[in-house]
């Protein structure tokens, strides 16, 4: 059972599309594994849509009518409108999408959330029982990767300057603070030391921080997380 | 008029609820409840249904007028440039026009659907501006439609689902043709007309696309 979820404000920022790619993928992948957070995101998205699209208080009908006149009188908008309507309907029919994609490593195939679809073509790099597939996100100091640890593998004790996010995708691991299962979303701040060990092997998505994001307002979201989770 | 509209909405309902294969069985089963549902339908929903079913330009004009100023304001706030805000309106409303058939009233309001399209588009545009990257990840992060999990063990169905996963990997031109022929059941001539290319081009794209799909499946079954 998943015990560790993204912080409420992180979910909110995700619904608004305010997180960088690496973190958006993490939250989306967690939601693909966690019904509870998925429901929460749906609610937050609906609220965000209301906030953006539903005008507060004033008469909707009148509001629309005046906008309509705007469009009619405004040549560039008229032009855009007719350009759009000149396009044919998309040939895409009712989409039938699988919820997961497969990533293979060392003869094992893992089904992971579909959000990783466009990122898993990178090569694995292996040192002992630990392998890493670094994603190409182009986010300055942020490094996002898949991390694979074979059975009985261990990551040496480490700390980070910023934060470290681990989303467990498959298998299990433990560290001094607890035991984790697939779907657990764990954020550690720079002060926490840990050395995860896995009995049966595991596959994780990890994001190592960019100090840059801390200076840009997301710090507010990430700073309290360490305390909240542990 | 009222009846006509209800009828269209009803068709659309079926289309959303059931995969094409099962559609025939589903017909006429829930007329009563659907009609009841339609009577208090929101004008945005009825507009999008008209766009989806009849390519109704007046209905689209209404949606455009409704959403355009708000999308523009959102774009200005996020992207900080008039031109980019215009682009956001254009891209978002283009998706509404071309993919209106993917809107599913059971899954949420029109506003939520349009918001999803806009946010995803804005996410990709922002990466384009900030990182100079031409990638499109928004729709993978927040899917525009349900990510379906196969509910039966029908082998055909599974194979179709597997193929569809690989469809994304085909170049656009081949994908359009494979989808048109096998999923929308268009003739090669209809596709050629729709895409404004000679029929020979359709034939060769189809051949290339199928060969590629075949190779994907073969490597997967190894």
Q: Which residue of A has its CA nearest to B100?
A: A89
Phi, psi dihedrals of residue A192, rounded to the nearest 5°: -85, 130
Residue A63 pLDDT: 47
**Is A98 close to B120, i.e. CB distance below 8 A?**
no
Which residue shows structure tokens 């506003």?
B111
Residue B157 pLDDT: 46
Residue A140 pLDDT: 74
**Is A93 close to B20, i.e. CB distance below 8 A?**
yes
Greatest alpha-carbon pair distance for chain B in Å reads 57
Say whether residue A66 is in contact with chain B using an 8 A CB cutoff: no
Local confidence pLDDT in tens for the 222 residues of chain B? 444 444 444 444 444 433 433 444 444 444 444 444 445 678 999 999 999 999 999 999 999 999 999 999 999 999 999 999 999 999 999 999 999 988 888 888 999 999 999 999 999 999 998 888 788 899 899 988 654 433 333 344 455 566 666 777 788 888 888 877 776 667 788 888 888 888 888 888 888 887 777 777 666 554
Q: Within 13 Å and on the Cβ side, how many CA atoms surround B188?
A: 10
Count how many domains chain A has.
1
* Partners of A168 in the β-ladder: A204
Low-confidence ranges of chain A (pLDDT < 70): 55-73, 91-98, 156-161, 190-193, 210-230
**Is B69 close to A25, i.e. CB distance below 8 A?**
no
Q: How far is B4 from chain A (nearest CA, A)?
A: 22
Say whether residue B42 is in contact with chain A using an 8 A CB cutoff: no
* Tokens (6 digits) for B54: 């009849």
CATH class of B155-221: mainly alpha
Size of interface A-B (CB pairs under 8 A): 155
Residues 139-158 of A with CB under 8 A from B: 139
Residues 127-156 of B with CB under 8 A from A: 127, 131, 133, 135, 137-138, 140-143, 145, 147-150
List the one residue out of A87, A42, A91, A16 whose CA is nearest residue B102.
Answer: A91
CATH, domain B42-141, list 1.20.1600.10, 3.40.50.300, 1.10.1740.10, 3.40.950.10: 1.10.1740.10
Q: Within 13 Å and on the Cβ side, how many CA atoms surround A230?
A: 17
- Per-residue pLDDT of A20-31, as tens digits, reads 999 999 999 999
* Tokens (6 digits) for A182: 């697939």
What is the Cα–Cα distance from A125 to A103, expressed in whole angstroms? Answer: 14
Q: Give the domain CATH number at A36.
A: 2.60.120.10
Mention every residue, 6+ apart, whose C-beta is less than 8 A from residue A127: none
Residue A191 pLDDT: 67
Residue A166 pLDDT: 92
Q: Which residue of B has its CA nearest to A101?
A: B165
For residue A86, being part of any structural domain is answered with no
Q: How far is A45 from chain B (nearest CA, A)?
A: 7
**Mutation site, B70, B119, B167, interface A, largest A CB count within 10 A:** B119
| Contact residues, chain A, for B60 at CB < 8 Å | 81, 84-85
For residue A56, being part of any structural domain is answered with no
Range of the domain at A189: 8-40+96-229
Residue A226 pLDDT: 30
Q: Which residue of A has its CA nearest to B65?
A: A68
Q: In this complex, which of B70, B122, B143 lies closest to A53 when CB atoms are compared?
A: B70
Residue A217: strand, helix, or coil: coil
* Partners of A111 in the β-ladder: A102
Q: In this complex, which of A16, A54, A88 lies closest to B194 when CB atoms are compared?
A: A88
Q: Hey, CA dihedral for B140, A225, A223, A44, is it positive or negative?
A: positive
Residues 95-114 of A with CB under 8 A from B: 95-99, 101, 114
**Is A87 close to B94, i.e. CB distance below 8 A?**
yes
């Amino acid at each position: 059972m998943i015990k560790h979820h993204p912080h409420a404000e992180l979910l909110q920022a995700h619904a608004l599309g305010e997180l960088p790619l690496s973190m958006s993928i993490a939250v989306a992948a967690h939601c693909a594994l966690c019904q509870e957070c998925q429901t929460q995101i749906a609610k937050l998205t609906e609220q965000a849509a209301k906030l953006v699209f539903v005008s507060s208080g004033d008469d909707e009908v009148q509001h629309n009518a005046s906008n309509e006149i705007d469009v009619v009188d405004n040549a560039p908008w008229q032009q855009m409108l007719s350009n759009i309507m000149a396009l044919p309907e998309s040939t895409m029919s009712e989409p039938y999408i699988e919820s997961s994609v497969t990533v293979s490593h060392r003869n094992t195939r893992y089904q992971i959330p579909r959000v990783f679809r466009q990122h898993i073509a990178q090569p694995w790099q292996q040192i002992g029982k630990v392998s890493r597939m670094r994603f190409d996100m182009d986010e300055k100091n942020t490094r996002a990767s898949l991390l694979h640890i074979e059975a009985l593998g261990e990551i040496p004790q480490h700390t980070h300057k910023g934060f470290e996010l681990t989303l467990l995708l498959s298998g299990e691991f433990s560290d001094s603070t607890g035991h984790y299962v697939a779907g657990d979303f764990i954020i550690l701040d720079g002060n926490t030391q840990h050395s995860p060990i896995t009995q049966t092997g595991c596959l994780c998505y990890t994001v190592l921080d960019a100090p840059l994001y801390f200076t840009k307002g997301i710090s507010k979201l990430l700073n309290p997380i360490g305390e909240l989770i542990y | 008029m009222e009846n006509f509209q209800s009828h269209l909405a009803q068709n659309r309902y079926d289309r959303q609820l059931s995969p094409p294969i099962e559609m025939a069985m589903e017909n006429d089963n829930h007329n009563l409840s659907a009609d009841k549902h339609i009577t208090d339908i929101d004008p945005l929903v009825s507009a999008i249904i008209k766009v989806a079913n009849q390519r109704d330009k007046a209905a689209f004009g209404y949606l455009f007028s409704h959403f355009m100023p708000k999308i523009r304001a959102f774009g200005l706030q996020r992207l900080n440039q008039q031109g980019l805000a215009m682009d956001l309106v254009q891209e978002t409303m283009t998706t509404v026009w071309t993919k209106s058939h993917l809107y599913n009233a059971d899954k949420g309001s029109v506003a939520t659907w349009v918001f999803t399209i806009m946010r995803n588009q804005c996410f990709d545009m922002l990466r384009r501006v900030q990182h100079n990257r031409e990638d499109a990840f928004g729709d993978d992060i927040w899917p525009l439609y349900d990510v379906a999990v196969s509910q039966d063990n029908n082998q055909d169905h599974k194979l179709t689902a597997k193929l569809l996963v690989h469809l994304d990997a085909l170049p656009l031109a081949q994908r359009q043709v494979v989808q048109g022929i096998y999923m929308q059941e268009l003739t090669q001539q209809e596709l050629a007309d729709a895409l404004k290319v000679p029929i020979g081009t359709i034939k060769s794209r189809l051949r290339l696309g199928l060969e590629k799909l075949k190779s994907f499946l073969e490597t997967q079954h190894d």
